[in-house]
Chains A and B, each alone.
Chain A
Amino acid sequence: MMSPIDLCVLSAAVLACLMVGSLHLRLNLWMYGATTMFIALATAMTAQAHAEISLIYIALLIAALKSAGIPLFLVWTSEKLNVHRDVGAMIPPPLAMHLSIGLFALSFILTRGLPAPEMEATGWYGAAAGISLLFTGLVVMLTRRLAIGQILGFLVIENGIYVFALTQTLGMPLLVEMGVLLDMLVGVMVSGLLVFKIQKSFEHIDVAQLTSLKE
């Protein structure tokens, strides 16, 4: 039986796969926001199901910071730099999307062998959704050339890890979870600022072209 929590995290995973199919930055970022909103919802439902008050705070923080704040910041960055589309690398977006859907299926097979979580949070579907998001994030990082696309890929990977933690362990201790969230926000801010500097020095933000240090 699939619980509403499972449904939320699986929707997040599917939405992330669909995101890979478009190179339009703004659309990508809003889809990332929607993915994260599903995850915040799953967190809130887990909090209710297990009467874990600390998860409510985490859900609120995720909804406010990760699903609204970060996409807004990155959309603002891309507007400011006047870049709207990624160029794409390695494989074309439709193929990449199908690849991530294939990896979505693969993650079900991979997580089947994991011991069922002791806390009986959601179990198997949750783990599969988490691993699938992780794969999708890697696909995004490999198929994007622009710096913002790379940041997006990293954010999706982080979402995957968070979903895995939520469904397998009911989330980490509050202090650790806060620390992770803080690190991530600072990371996005720092790399966002760096994107501006890259634009200023190179007059583009195509990080695939930054190869002068290769030997």
Chain B
Amino acid sequence: MEFFASLSAFPILGAVMAAGSSRIEQLRRLVIIIIWLQVIVAAFLCAPVLAGGAALVRFTPDFAVDRISASFLMLTNFVAACSLSHSPTFFRNEGLITGKTVPPEHERLFYASALLFVLAMNFVFVSDNLGLLWVSIEATTLFSAGLVYFSRDKHALEATWKYLMVCSVGIAFALLGTILIFAASQHGAVPGGSLNVRQLLGCAKQLEPKLLELGYIFCLLGYGTKAGIFPLHTWLPDAHSEAPAPASAMLSGALLNCALFAIWRVTELVRLTEHHAICETVPVFWGALTALAAGFFLVHQYGIKRLWAYSSIENVGIMLVAIGLGSPLLFFLQALNHSVAKVALFLLSGNIIQYYKTKDLSQIRGLLQVSPTCGILFAICAAAVTGMPPFGAFIAEWLILAKSADAMQGIAVGMLLIALAISFVAVSIHVSKILWGVPKHEVAQQETFSKYLIPSLLCLCTIILGLTALPLIMVKPI
């Protein structure tokens, strides 16, 4: 009971206050306090695993964290805290710069659904039960629909509808997969069946192989839709592009990790059985294919946030390869580096859209002239996302490539290399067009410290991540 109370108290309190509060300035401050308190709560819950060396902390029979889920829990809360801390500045500027004041009730709904969304994501990582994991992931879809719908225009409606329908149907297949895994556990492994992750891992070899394999494929398909795997990614660019920048940052930096984490959970299970070939070749190949397809999509992009959405799909592909390689460390390393840089990029893109009053890439020129601070930060984060040294993503991608080569996945390595090269060139061209040149029309902007605070902190994080992880590739291979 204390566990549920401690994990959900702050988000629920915040959501209730957001829905009921009438003073928007107070609410903005309150949300920032609440979300950082949530980070502290998460740190407190994860401390025995992350700092104390314990392999697992069990809260209730169905809720526990192990090392990888604790790491993701911290990352998710950190991403949410950064995005929500930036959002008051974002909404204030929306009124000041673009002249379209955000109605207070819209902003209140935004905070309420964002906090509930964060809570649902927290439950994804603490669920030690595949059924509850599914329930939490579906809950993230429902709560984040409110974020995508934020601007309430035709585009936002279309994106929200698509998001709800595509993800719900996709996730329904993951439910079927979960049921098949449950059925597989009833054949001799656990009397009456179980969905408990530890219990299943303990008796993986006795699971009925045919049902388990079918279940794995359906889970991969279902959670893959939510993670934006090619060709099931159609909802992703629309939702990321139509949501306000702080929400896009959370979708890309936290939500995609949730879906990939669910894939990791089932992969981890199938890996222990004698039929592990399926959970190696399928994710590796599919991940590489996703990265490659996203690379091609990146070339012709017309919207600034769509560009980063496709770049997220590319990274999802790379993370899926890491999952297929069976390395939780590489999976987390790539997710961490991607999330940190991508959140900064989405937040900066929000600022840029406010300056130029358009999302259209062809209209955004001369950023270095308009705002040098924003331009430099933007360039650094873009370089980090494409995997340039010395940033963290370079190390993670390098290790993933090396490990795929070790695993004799030659085709996947080739596809990944082409994908990385194409996306690097595509992003560089788009970004250099944004940075240089002359603005096409008068650009309104006011430089304030607050709108660069979070992006520059994240920038610093990605550089530190790169420099501290450098010994990983110089000392010993993983």
Contact A119 B142 (CB under 8 A): no
Answer whether residue A94 sits at the interface, using C-beta atoms and an 8 A cutoff: no
Using Cβ atoms and an 8 Å threshold, which residues of chain A touch B154?
201-202, 212
Contact A215 B182 (CB under 8 A): no
Contact B211 A172 (CB under 8 A): no
Complex interface residues of chain A between 180 and 215 (CB less than 8 A to chain B): 180, 182-183, 186-187, 190-191, 194, 197-198, 201-202, 207, 210-213, 215
Nearest CB in chain B to that of A165: its residue: B179
Answer whether residue A43 sits at the interface, using C-beta atoms and an 8 A cutoff: no
Contact B172 A215 (CB under 8 A): no
The listed residue (A113, A172, A207) touching B131 by CB distance below 8 A is A172
Answer whether residue B129 sits at the interface, using C-beta atoms and an 8 A cutoff: yes
Answer whether residue A124 sits at the interface, using C-beta atoms and an 8 A cutoff: no
Complex interface residues of chain B between 189 and 208 (CB less than 8 A to chain A): 192-193, 195, 208
Nearest CB in chain A to that of B141: its residue: A187
Using Cβ atoms and an 8 Å threshold, which residues of chain A touch B296?
none
A125 → B minimal CB distance (Å): 16
Q: Provide the bound-state CA to CA distance between A176 and B178, in Å.
A: 11
Q: Provide the bound-state CA to CA distance between A157 and B172, in Å.
A: 8
Using Cβ atoms and an 8 Å threshold, which residues of chain B touch A182?
135
Answer whether residue B409 sits at the interface, using C-beta atoms and an 8 A cutoff: no
Contact A154 B187 (CB under 8 A): no
Flag the segment in B73-81, B88-96, B161-169, B424-432 that touches A: B161-169
Contact A141 B179 (CB under 8 A): no
Contact A161 B135 (CB under 8 A): no
B15 → A minimal CB distance (Å): 14
Q: Provide the bound-state CA to CA distance between A171 and B176, in Å.
A: 12
Complex interface residues of chain A between 126 and 173 (CB less than 8 A to chain B): 134, 141, 147, 150, 154, 157-158, 161, 164-165, 168-169, 172-173
Asked whether A150 and B165 contact (CB < 8 A) given A168-B179, A212-B154, the answer is yes
Using Cβ atoms and an 8 Å threshold, which residues of chain B touch A175?
62, 131-132
Complex interface residues of chain B between 208 and 251 (CB less than 8 A to chain A): 208, 210-211, 238, 241-242
A103 → B minimal CB distance (Å): 16
Asked whether A119 and B155 contact (CB < 8 A) given A172-B131, A210-B161, the answer is no
Contact B172 A169 (CB under 8 A): no
Answer whether residue B66 sits at the interface, using C-beta atoms and an 8 A cutoff: no
Using Cβ atoms and an 8 Å threshold, which residues of chain B touch A134?
176
Contact B172 A154 (CB under 8 A): yes
Answer whether residue B175 sits at the interface, using C-beta atoms and an 8 A cutoff: yes
Answer whether residue B139 sits at the interface, using C-beta atoms and an 8 A cutoff: yes
Nearest CB in chain A to that of B235: its residue: A213
Nearest CB in chain A to that of B169: its residue: A154
Contact A154 B165 (CB under 8 A): yes
Answer whether residue B138 sits at the interface, using C-beta atoms and an 8 A cutoff: yes
Nearest CB in chain B to that of A178: its residue: B135
Using Cβ atoms and an 8 Å threshold, which residues of chain B touch A157?
169, 172
Answer whether residue A92 sits at the interface, using C-beta atoms and an 8 A cutoff: no
A114 → B minimal CB distance (Å): 7
Using Cβ atoms and an 8 Å threshold, which residues of chain A touch B62?
175
Using Cβ atoms and an 8 Å threshold, which residues of chain A touch B157?
194, 197-198, 201-202, 210
The listed residue (A118, A173, A194, A201) touching B187 by CB distance below 8 A is A118
Q: Which of B152, B153, B168 has the most CB of A within 10 A?
A: B168
A10 → B minimal CB distance (Å): 19
Using Cβ atoms and an 8 Å threshold, which residues of chain B touch A141?
169
Nearest CB in chain A to that of B139: its residue: A183
Q: Provide the bound-state CA to CA distance between A45 and B243, in Å.
A: 47
Answer whether residue B371 sits at the interface, using C-beta atoms and an 8 A cutoff: no
B331 → A minimal CB distance (Å): 26
Answer whether residue B404 sits at the interface, using C-beta atoms and an 8 A cutoff: no
Complex interface residues of chain B between 101 and 157 (CB less than 8 A to chain A): 129, 131-132, 134-135, 138-139, 141-142, 145, 149, 152-155, 157
Using Cβ atoms and an 8 Å threshold, which residues of chain A touch B132?
175-176, 179
The listed residue (A118, A158, A213) touching B186 by CB distance below 8 A is A118
Q: Provide the bound-state CA to CA distance between A175 and B129, in Å.
A: 11
B214 → A minimal CB distance (Å): 8
Asked whether A215 and B302 contact (CB < 8 A) given A158-B172, A164-B176, A168-B183, the answer is yes
Answer whether residue B414 sits at the interface, using C-beta atoms and an 8 A cutoff: no
Asked whether A115 and B176 contact (CB < 8 A) given A176-B131, A194-B164, A210-B162, the answer is no
Contact A161 B179 (CB under 8 A): yes
Answer whether residue A4 sits at the interface, using C-beta atoms and an 8 A cutoff: no
Contacts A/B (CB < 8 Å), 28 sampled: A114-B211, A118-B186, A147-B161, A154-B165, A157-B172, A158-B172, A161-B179, A164-B179, A169-B179, A169-B193, A172-B131, A172-B178, A172-B195, A175-B132, A176-B129, A179-B132, A179-B134, A180-B134, A182-B135, A191-B161, A191-B164, A194-B164, A201-B157, A207-B161, A207-B165, A210-B158, A210-B161, A213-B242
Residues of A at the B interface (CB closer than 8 Å) are 113-115, 117-119, 134, 141, 147, 150, 154, 157-158, 161, 164-165, 168-169, 172-173, 175-176, 179-180, 182-183, 186-187, 190-191, 194, 197-198, 201-202, 207, 210-213, 215
Nearest first, the 6 closest Cβ-Cβ pairs linking A and B are: A176-B131, A179-B135, A210-B158, A118-B186, A183-B138, A165-B179
